[in-house]
């Protein structure tokens, strides 16, 4: 059974919005993501964080272990996609993320 976390509210300060729109860490183009990630996984393990349903599903489908996934059941905030089925040992926290 999945563990649900208590509801905690955070609001991103306006002065950080533009800064956090920039990618943090390495950004991979979609057409090479699988090959690049698997090549990187040969190196010592680091945390893998995905932001977006499509990339999260793609990596899980190739057997990559993700440490943190930020998903909303949509792509580009509009088109709904099928839910991602996480393993039972994953913790799930539901949040609200309205457009800024």
Residue-wise pLDDT for 74-95, tens only, equals: 777 677 777 777 776 777 777 7
The pTM assigned to this predicted structure is: 0.58
> Other C-beta atoms within 10 Å of 86: how many?
15
Report yes or no: 65 and 48 within 8 Å, Cβ to Cβ: yes
Q: Is residue 63 predicted with pLDDT exceeding 60?
A: yes
pLDDT tens column, 34-49: 777 777 776 666 788 8
Q: Is residue 28 predicted with pLDDT exceeding 70?
A: yes
- Hey, which residues does 3 pair with through a beta bridge? none
Please report, for the chain, the start and end positions of each structural domain, with discontinuous segments joined by +: 17-80
Main-chain dihedrals φ then ψ at residue 92, nearest 5 degrees: -120, 130
Q: How far apart are CA 26 and CA 68, in angstroms?
A: 15
Task: Check the CA dihedral 56-85-66-34 and report its sign.
Answer: negative
Q: How far apart are CA 70 and CA 39, in angstroms?
A: 23
Name which of 53, 49, 33, 48 is nearest 97 in CA terms: 53
């Amino acid at each position: 059974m999945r563990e649900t976390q208590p509801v905690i509210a955070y609001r991103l300060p306006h002065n950080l919005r533009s800064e956090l729109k920039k990618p943090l860490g390495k950004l991979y183009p979609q057409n090479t993501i699988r090959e690049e990630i698997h090549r990187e996984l040969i190196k010592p393990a680091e945390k893998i964080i995905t932001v977006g349903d499509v990339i999260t599903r793609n990596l899980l489908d190739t057997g990559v272990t993700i440490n943190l996934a930020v998903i909303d059941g949509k792509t580009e905030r509009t088109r709904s996609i099928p839910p991602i089925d996480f393993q039972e040992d994953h913790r799930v926290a539901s949040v609200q993320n309205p457009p800024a």
